[in-house]
């Protein structure tokens, strides 16, 4: 039976904890496992750009004796059609139904990045591209960021929180919305909050009233949090939320009520340019010592000021490094045994 990793909740809490523990041992050099992925191949399909995700997965495979193949549909390979039942008489020449099956015959695992492209949130929220790809592919499929989730980033966020805070249960994690020149997806903020919820933290999501996350994502956070002994709340007063914060995660996302209508969404965003995290605001946090997190890339002096990003509380580079270590652990977990082998 193959194992996909489309969402952190695809794995049991104990399994996530085991992944994080292995990632930490690998990072510290307590384990090296240089041949754990010997002769294993990961095919990565990037329908959207990447820096950290691509580089960290390529390095992770190399460190353990494996190999990564990168495909960029529409650039280095045929453009993919993703709609079901479509008459393919336009510009796309290959459907993901065939692409996923073929890649599953070539590689030991397939990883896919596909951002939302449509203008109807009721349709996009189904996350059909990554889920259809997984249903067609006979090998494990890993989500490199989809419309709804970025689980590898979530693993890295969890590892960073554990490293920086030690005991996480009951600690205060503030996810704060930030201004951005354009509407961004909700996959990262949802995954970050899920990661903190998994760790039993007091999760506080601060955003302007118009920028609520999807109700199903909020329900998932609440469920994970309750199981882990934490809590989730939403506030609209950012400064009040920061008062007892021990970790501050800054991230922009778009207003789902205007999804697919950028001009209308820009009107909602315009009054909130002041939602930029600064060094002064970080001083409002608990003992003025909260760690600062962001998934990167970050718009300097728009989302976060220079003095905050470059200051002693910033954990963003450690957070980015941890992408490498959690993905090393993930690939070893998925591929070092026999899971995911297709019967031919």
* CATH among 3.40.50.1370, 3.40.50.150, 3.40.50.720, 3.40.50.300 for 8-149+323-335: 3.40.50.1370
Domains 8-149+323-335 and 152-320 are alike in CATH topology: yes
CA-derived radius of gyration, the chain: 20
Give dist(CA 223, CA 10) in Å, integer: 14
* Residue range 29-35: mean pLDDT, rounded: 96
Predicted confidence band at 337 (pLDDT cuts at 50, 70, 90)? low
Q: Which of 85, 8, 295, 269 is nearest to 175 (CA)?
A: 295
Instruction: For residue 197, report the phi and psi dihedrals to the nearest 5 degrees.
Output: -65, -40
User: In this predicted model, what pLDDT tens digit does every residue of 102-156 receive, in sequence order?
Assistant: 999 999 999 999 999 989 999 999 999 999 999 999 999 999 999 999 999 999 9
pTM comes to 0.95
Give dist(CA 206, CA 241) in Å, integer: 7
Residues forming beta bridges with residue 293, ordered by sequence position: 249
Q: What do you get for the CA distance between the two ends of the chain, in Å? A: 14
Q: In CATH, what is the architecture of 152-320?
A: 3-Layer(aba) Sandwich (3.40)
Kindly tell me if the per-residue pLDDT of 340 is higher than 50.
no
Token pair recorded at residue 269: 């965003």
Domain residue ranges in the chain: 8-149+323-335, 152-320
The pLDDT, as a whole number, for residue 178 is 98
Predicted confidence band at 336 (pLDDT cuts at 50, 70, 90)? confident
The CA-based diameter of the chain, rounded to the nearest angstrom, is 61
Predicted confidence band at 171 (pLDDT cuts at 50, 70, 90)? very high
Mean pLDDT of the chain: 96
Specify whether the CB–CB gap between 5 and 11 falls below 8 A. yes
Instruction: For residue 60, report the phi and psi dihedrals to the nearest 5 degrees.
Output: -60, -45
């Amino acid at each position: 039976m193959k194992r996909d990793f489309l969402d952190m909740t695809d794995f049991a809490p104990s399994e996530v904890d085991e992944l994080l523990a292995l990632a930490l041992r690998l990072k510290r050099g307590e384990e090296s496992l240089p041949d754990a992925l010997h002769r294993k191949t990961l095919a990565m399909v990037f329908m959207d750009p990447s820096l950290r995700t691509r580089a960290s997965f390529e390095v992770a495979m190399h460190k353990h004796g494996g190999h990564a193949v990168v495909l960029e549909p529409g650039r280095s390979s045929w453009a993919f059609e993703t709609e079901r039942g479509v008459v393919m008489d336009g510009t796309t020449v290959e459907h993901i139904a065939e692409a996923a099956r073929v890649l599953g015959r070539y590689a030991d695992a397939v990883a896919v990045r596909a951002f939302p492209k449509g203008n109807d949130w009721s349709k996009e929220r189904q996350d059909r591209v990554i889920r259809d790809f997984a249903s067609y592919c006979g090998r494990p499929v890993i989500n490199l960021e989809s419309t709804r989730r970025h689980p590898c980033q979530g693993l890295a966020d969890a590892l960073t929180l554990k490293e920086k805070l030690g005991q996480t249960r009951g600690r205060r994690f503030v996810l704060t919305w930030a201004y951005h020149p354009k509407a961004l997806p909700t996959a990262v903020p949802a995954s970050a909050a899920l990661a903190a919820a998994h760790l039993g933290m007091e999760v506080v999501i601060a955003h302007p009233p118009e920028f609520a996350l999807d109700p199903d994502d909020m329900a998932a956070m609440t469920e994970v949090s309750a199981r882990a002994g934490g809590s989730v709340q939403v506030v609209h007063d950012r400064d009040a939320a920061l008062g007892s914060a021990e970790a501050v995660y800054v991230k922009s996302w778009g207003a789902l009520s205007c999804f697919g209508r950028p001009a209308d969404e820009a009107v909602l965003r315009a009054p909130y340019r002041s939602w930029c995290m600064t060094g002064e605001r970080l001083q409002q946090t608990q003992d003025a010592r909260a760690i600062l997190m962001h998934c990167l890339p970050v718009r300097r002096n728009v989302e976060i000021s220079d003095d905050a990003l470059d200051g002693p509380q910033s954990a963003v580079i450690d957070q980015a490094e941890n992408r490498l270590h959690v993905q090393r652990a993930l690939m070893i977990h998925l591929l070092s045994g026999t899971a995911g082998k297709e019967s031919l």
